Amino acid sequence: MAKKTKKKHKKIKKGEKYTVKDSELKRKGKFCPKCGSGVFMAEHKDRHSCGTCSYTEWKQKGEQK
């Protein structure tokens, strides 16, 4: 998708806050069940993750790998 560029990994605090590869960060995602409404979860290909509390919710299809 993205062009192949050599670049060093950025230091990311708290694990992966926003690692968006396939799709852009969607604003109208789902809310984090822990943080409550107002905190969106980042949508990944196979999971949703909250950047605030690091809560990760795997999508139903398949199993986590």
**Does residue 42 touch Zn ion according to CB under 5 A?**
no
**Does residue 53 touch Zn ion according to CB under 5 A?**
yes
Least Cβ distance, residue 42 to Zn ion (angstroms): 10
Least Cβ distance, residue 16 to Zn ion (angstroms): 14
Helix H, strand E, coil C: the string for the chain is CCCCCCCCCCCCCCCCCCCCCCCCCCCCCCEECCCEEEEEEEECCCEEEECCCCCEEECCCCCCC
Least Cβ distance, residue 53 to Zn ion (angstroms): 3
**Does residue 52 touch Zn ion according to CB under 5 A?**
yes
